[in-house]
């Protein structure tokens, strides 16, 4: 019998994905560090961020960084979502997602029994985490739009519960994003080949 | 083309081509990787040095051209018919915060008797205005949210002359691009004509039903609920209509010129 033809080799992380991932990482870095400096001008809660980890030097500078990088974050994010949805990748890679599967994979992960042999396959915990970060950044953009243009976007303003509520939403969404980044970086450190895959891509069978 | 190589056992050209094919992806990969590593390192250095990237001249130029771009986007987003929300009297912030680039004790004292509002630029009637003449015009009042560039906001009640009425009265060229303001506290700013003509833009003469007090900008402030606090000049002494961009006190230091909300 003849051997079946080898399955077509495709990159687990296509070029567009790697590009939008790194642009997003850079945009988030600029948005968050400048955002902390803006926060410090009128702290919403009972603390300020250490100035040494903020970007912009003063409020005016931080605002310039924030309102420049917002375009990169939003446009890059839109490009990512459009390609992800149009190519069918979003539904292929992130679904199905079930509470049962989630508990199973989380338990396996905590016991260190979750394999990462095939980087093109996301386990249920990853699926939820990546879907969460897509929704969270969308929320950051919407609450940010409300703070930037609260008069011009009345529907979004009401959706956020008003100008003041949008400030809280923006802050909480930022905090959750930072929590994601922390876990994400720890996971990358535990499975370093994922970093290589995100940089150069990796040939994997579909 | 390469006839002289035909039949030759050692085809240098094809060897070279093959070699290039083998090496190329590696070179490409390596340069891509080192580019990314450099990028990461640059970010790391910036983080450690407390991020004074803004001091770099080319970065500064890029950021201010993005700010000009954002001015245009905001001008385009601005809908003259969209109104800022208004609030019931019970929601007024008491006491309404004092805010300026100086302390409350340094707020200028303007004498009503000698006060004249100067009007210049692209206007038909350049005579100066006394306060009582402005008070004789139709008055309107609104309770709106004042949003500061720092993020905090406060709700207040301002009354006065609709600025579009005033511009019509002085025969201003409403096709001009800018309306500028010079103030008794040496503050200055300028706004776009579309916002100047917005129905909620007031030449405010009162605060909370009483004559505008010194700390809130006596004798008058321009109150725009569609713009951030620093765009709302207090202690106005001169108004000019112009096609020439004239910036503003904070805007010249880096705050966004349109400053709309």
Asked whether residue B232 carries a pLDDT value surpassing 90, the answer given is: yes
Nearest to B225 by CA among B166, B138, B163, B135: B163
Q: Kindly state the tokens that stand for B200.
A: 């909620």
- For residue B153, the chain A residue with the least C-alpha distance is A164
How far is the C-alpha of B233 from the C-alpha of B184, rounded, in Å? 10
Nearest to B153 among A41, A163, A199 (CB): A163
- For residue A28, the chain B residue with the least C-alpha distance is B43
Q: What pLDDT is attached to residue A2?
A: 47
Asked whether residue A47 carries a pLDDT value surpassing 60, the answer given is: yes
Q: What pLDDT is attached to residue B186?
A: 97
Confidence of residue B16 (pLDDT cuts 50, 70, 90): low
- Chain B contact set for A26 (CB, 8 A): 39, 43
Q: B151-204 pLDDT, tens per residue?
A: 999 999 999 999 999 999 999 999 999 999 999 999 999 999 999 999 999 999
- Write the CB contacts of A17 (distance below 8 Å, at least 6 apart in sequence): A80, A83, A84, A89
Asked whether residue A186 carries a pLDDT value surpassing 80, the answer given is: yes
Please name every residue paired with B129 in a beta bridge, in sequence order, or none if there are none: B117
Q: B129-142 pLDDT, tens per residue?
A: 999 999 999 999 99
Q: What pLDDT is attached to residue A10?
A: 52
Q: What pLDDT is attached to residue A174?
A: 98
Mean pLDDT, chain B, whole residue set? 87
Q: Where are the domains of chain A?
A: 12-42+51-90, 119-201
Residues of A near B (Cβ–Cβ under 8 Å) read 22, 26, 29, 33, 38-39, 41-42, 44, 51-61, 63-65, 67-68, 71, 147-152, 154, 157, 163-164, 167, 199-200
Assess B96–A contact: CB distance below 8 Å, yes or no: no
Sequential DSSP letters for B16-75 = HHHHHHHHHHHHHHHHHHHHHHHHHHHHHHHHHTT--GGGSHHHHHHHHHHHHHHHHHHH
Per mean pLDDT, which range of A33-37, A116-120, B83-87, B195-199 is the poorest?
A116-120
């Amino acid at each position: 019998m003849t051997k079946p033809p080898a399955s077509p080799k495709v990159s687990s992380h296509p070029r567009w994905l790697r590009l939008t991932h790194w642009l997003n990482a850079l945009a988030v870095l600029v948005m968050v560090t400048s955002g902390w400096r803006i926060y410090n001008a009128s702290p919403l809660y009972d603390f300020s961020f250490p100035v040494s980890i903020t970007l912009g030097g003063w409020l005016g500078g931080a605002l310039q960084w924030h309102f420049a990088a917002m375009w990169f974050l939003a446009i890059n994010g839109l490009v990512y979502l459009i390609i992800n949805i149009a190519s069918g990748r979003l539904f292929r890679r992130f679904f199905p997602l079930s509470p049962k599967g989630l508990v199973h994979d989380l338990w396996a992960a905590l016991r260190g029994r979750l394999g990462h042999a095939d980087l093109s396959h996301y386990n249920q915990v990853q699926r939820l985490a990546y879907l969460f970060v897509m929704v969270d950044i969308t929320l950051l953009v919407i609450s940010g739009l409300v703070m930037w243009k609260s008069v011009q976007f009345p529907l979004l303003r009401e959706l956020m519960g008003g100008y003041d509520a949008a400030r809280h939403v923006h802050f909480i969404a930022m905090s959750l994003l930072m929590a994601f980044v922390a876990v994400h970086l720890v996971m990358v450190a535990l499975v370093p080949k994922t970093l290589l895959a995100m940089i150069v891509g990796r040939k994997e069978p579909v | 083309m390469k006839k002289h190589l035909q039949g030759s056992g050692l085809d240098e050209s094809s060897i070279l081509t093959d070699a290039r094919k083998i090496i190329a992806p590696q070179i490409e990969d390596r340069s891509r990787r080192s580019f990314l590593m450099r990028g990461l390192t640059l970010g790391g250095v910036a983080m450690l040095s407390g991020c004074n990237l803004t001091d770099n001249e080319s970065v500064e130029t890029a950021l201010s051209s993005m700010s000009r771009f954002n001015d245009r986007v905001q001008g385009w987003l601005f809908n003259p018919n969209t109104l800022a929300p208004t609030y019931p009297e019970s929601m007024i912030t008491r006491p309404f915060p004092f805010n300026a680039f100086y302390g409350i004790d340094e707020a200028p004292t303007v004498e009503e008797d000698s006060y004249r509002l100067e009007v210049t630029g692209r206007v038909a009637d350049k005579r100066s205005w006394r306060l009582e003449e402005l008070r004789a015009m139709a008055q309107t009042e609104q309770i709106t949210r004042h949003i500061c560039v720092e993020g905090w906001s406060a709700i207040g009640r301002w009354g006065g002359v609709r600025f579009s009425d005033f511009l019509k009265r002085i025969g201003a060229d409403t096709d001009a691009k800018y309306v500028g303001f010079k103030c008794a506290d040496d503050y200055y700013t300028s706004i776009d004509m579309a916002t100047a003509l917005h129905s909620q833009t007031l030449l405010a003469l009162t605060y909370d039903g009483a004559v505008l007090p010194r700390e809130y900008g006596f004798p008058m402030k321009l109150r725009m609920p569609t713009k951030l606090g620093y765009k709302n000049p207090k202690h106005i002494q001169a108004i000019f209509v112009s096609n020439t961009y004239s910036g503003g006190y904070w805007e010249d230091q880096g705050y966004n010129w349109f400053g709309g909300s």
